[in-house]
Amino acid sequence: MPRQLYELAAQADDHVFSPYCWRIRLALAHKGLDFESVPWRMTEKERLAFSGSERVPVLVDGNTTVVDSWEILNYLEQTYPEQPLGLSRAEVRFVRHWTEMVLHPGLSRMIVDEVFQTVHEKDRAYFRESREKLFGVPLEEFAANKEVKLEEFRRALSPLRATLEAHDFLGGSAPNVSDYLVFSGLMWARCTAPTPVLAPDDPVSRWRESMLDLYEGMARRAPCREAA
């Protein structure tokens, strides 16, 4: 059986938009490992029962099933040490936590209403209910005042911007797992929100363009909702 990656999909099977799944797609490509994408929707919990998880990504590699993106990255690094992702570097944990605690929430408060429009129609009621329970307000209220939030978001990217002014990639001259972690957050926005979150002249945009081109334009070719 080919290696399988269960991924969150929108209406179309190939419209994958989860930042946690994108980081695994990119890590697999980095290591030159083939995989079959298994599209999954949030309300299909029973299809993941075999894994013990209610969330994706889930990787099935031969007889091994791994859940949680961080666990999957570590599994890939240990099992396939060629083409290292750089995961053993302590500062990668900082990049992971910055991504999940600063980047994702900063995006979420601008795009969650667009994510709602993106999810498969059968997931919409579940998505609204679960997220409104989490946020304590309606999705539209949570995502209001986008212009102000966009300015704040771009300001919060200053450390990323300053780093990318000095280096081609967070990994230095070539991408590593830090690039995949951060870029996957931006792929979440690209795949779900029509309005770009980066200014075209932002050095972060230049880096994002390079990331979109990696692995024969794997990310650039993926279905997205961002306006050209």
Ligand X SMILES: N[C@@H](CCC(=O)N[C@@H](CS)C(=O)NCC(=O)O)C(=O)O
Q: Closer to ligand X by CB, 10 or 42: give it.
A: 42
Q: How far is the CB of 9 from ligand X (least distance, A)?
A: 11
Q: How far is the CB of 161 from ligand X (least distance, A)?
A: 25
Q: How far is the CB of 203 from ligand X (least distance, A)?
A: 27
Q: Closer to ligand X by CB, 126 or 168: give it.
A: 126
Q: Where on the phi/psi map is residue 52: left (φ > 0), alpha (ψ -120 to 50), or beta?
A: left
> Cβ contacts of residue 79 below 8 Å, gap of 6+?
61
> Cβ contacts of residue 148 below 8 Å, gap of 6+?
none
Q: How far is the CB of 16 from ligand X (least distance, A)?
A: 10
Q: How far is CA 1 from the centre of its chain?
A: 26
Q: Closer to ligand X by CB, 164 or 188: give it.
A: 188
Q: Closer to ligand X by CB, 54 or 209: give it.
A: 54
- CA-to-CA separations, 107 to 3, 25, 203, in angstroms, rounded: 31, 21, 18
Q: How far is the CB of 18 from ligand X (least distance, A)?
A: 3
Binding site for ligand X (CB under 6 A): 8, 18, 20, 42, 54-57, 68-70, 130
Q: Closer to ligand X by CB, 27 or 164: give it.
A: 27
